[in-house]
């Protein structure tokens, strides 16, 4: 039953203080609320350190959304750029407070992570080959038939998609993957579409030389370490408000909205 914070009324209509019983209920109710509130926030720092992988305008929009959410809670956010595998290891160990944006299901392999179940962004992975007019595999099944398929190690979507393949070559960067394609040391590369394309210019390469095809489409989600589990309901609620009726937060949210 909700607590009535108004004063009691006697039969004559004159206001009077709460009875001893009602005073006990009122104070007790406030005490329980205060205890719950303190418990939810006591372990939350004023600044969160979230690991970040990748780059680009879509990631910047995700970061802006998260800064807005945590800013409403009086918290700032610092983003730490780390290699993909090290990033999730740091978050799972509690040395970082969580992951900015990762694929669904990370909690299965990293049990200390808690997923905020609101899609942040629709991500894509593409197959890239080298050479104008060269055939591009249009599915994972076709890709698996090739002898040398490159992926960047630590990027879970690519690792899960190629799990069990004997032909996978793990690389350290998108740039090195593109160079190996150009040199003929890979038959194809599977990687995040935007990051692969952005890696071309610094390597002196042109997208026109790399026929490609999207073969994976999936959501990215925000994760927190379990020590911040009390934050999940309020962060989830605010991200749902930002997302609205669209399929992901960054499709519908802009700063100052």
How does pLDDT run across 88-115, given as a tens digit for each residue? 999 999 999 999 999 999 999 999 999 9
- pLDDT for 208 equals 96
Query: Stretch 180-208: mean pLDDT, rounded?
Result: 96
User: Rounded distance, CA 195 to CA 136, Å?
Assistant: 19
**What average pLDDT is seen over the chain?**
84
- pLDDT for 220 equals 95
Q: pLDDT: is 129 or 30 the higher one?
A: 129
CB 192 within 8 A of CB 123: yes
CB 249 within 8 A of CB 243: yes
Confidence of residue 45 (pLDDT cuts 50, 70, 90): low
CB 179 within 8 A of CB 203: yes
- pLDDT for 191 equals 96
Neighbours of 53 (CB within 10 A): 24
Q: Dihedral of CA 137/138/140/141: which sign?
A: negative
Percent of the chain with pLDDT over 90: 74
Query: Stretch 213-234: mean pLDDT, rounded?
Result: 96
Query: Stretch 237-251: mean pLDDT, rounded?
Result: 93
**What b-and-e string marks burial along 128-154, b requiring 16 or more CB atoms within 10 Å of the CB?**
bbbeeeeebbeebeebbeeeebbbbeb
What the block records as the tokens of 70 is: 């945590």
Choose among 179, 178, 159, 176: nearest CA to 168. Answer: 159
Go through the domains of the chain in sequence order and give each one's CATH number. 47-123+222-251 (3.40.190.10), 124-217 (3.40.190.10)
The terminus-to-terminus CA distance of the chain in angstroms comes to 35
- pLDDT for 28 equals 41
**Torsion over CA of 28, 34, 36 and 38, rounded to 10 degrees?**
-150
- pLDDT for 56 equals 83
- pLDDT for 100 equals 98
User: Rounded distance, CA 220 to CA 62, Å?
Assistant: 10
Residue 20 has pLDDT above 60, yes or no: no
Query: Stretch 209-231: mean pLDDT, rounded?
Result: 96
Confidence of residue 251 (pLDDT cuts 50, 70, 90): confident
Q: pLDDT: is 54 or 100 the higher one?
A: 100
Lowest mean pLDDT among 44-53, 89-98, 132-141, 211-220: 44-53
Query: Stretch 222-236: mean pLDDT, rounded?
Result: 97
Helical residues (DSSP H) of the chain, grouped into ranges: 20-41, 57-72, 84-93, 106-109, 140-144, 156-161, 174-182, 193-198, 232-243
CB 73 within 8 A of CB 97: no
Query: Stretch 214-240: mean pLDDT, rounded?
Result: 96
Contacts by 137-145 with C-beta closer than 8 Å and gap 24+? 137/188, 137/213, 137/215, 138/213, 138/215, 139/215, 140/215, 140/216, 143/188, 143/190, 143/215
Give the C-alpha distances (Å, rounded to integers) separating 46 from 64, 71, 101, 247: 17, 10, 21, 30
């Amino acid at each position: 039953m909700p607590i009535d914070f108004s004063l009691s009324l006697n039969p004559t209509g004159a206001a009077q203080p709460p009875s001893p019983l009602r005073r006990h209920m009122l104070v007790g109710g406030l005490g329980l609320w205060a205890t719950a509130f303190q418990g939810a926030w006591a372990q939350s720092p004023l600044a969160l350190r979230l690991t970040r992988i990748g780059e680009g305008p879509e990631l910047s929009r995700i970061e802006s959304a998260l800064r807005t959410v945590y800013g409403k809670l009086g918290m700032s956010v610092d983003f730490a750029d780390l290699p993909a595998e090290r990033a999730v290891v740091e978050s799972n160990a509690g040395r970082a407070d969580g992951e900015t944006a990762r694929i669904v299901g990370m909690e299965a392999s990293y049990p200390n992570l808690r997923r905020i179940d609101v899609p942040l962004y629709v991500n894509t992975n593409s197959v890239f080959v080298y050479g104008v007019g060269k055939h591009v595999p249009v599915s994972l099944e076709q890709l698996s038939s090739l002898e040398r398929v490159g992926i960047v190690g630590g990027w879970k979507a690519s690792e899960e998609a190629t799990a069990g393949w004997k032909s996978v070559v793990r690389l350290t960067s998108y740039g090195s993957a593109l160079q190996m394609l150009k040199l003929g040391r890979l038959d194809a590369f599977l990687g995040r579409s935007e990051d692969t394309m952005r890696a071309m210019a610094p390597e002196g390469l042109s997208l026109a030389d790399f026929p490609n095809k999207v073969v994976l489409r999936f959501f990215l989600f925000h994760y927190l370490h379990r020590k911040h589990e009390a934050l999940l309901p309020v962060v989830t609620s605010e991200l749902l408000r930002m997302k609205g009726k669209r399929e992901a937060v960054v499709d519908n949210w802009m700063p100052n909205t």
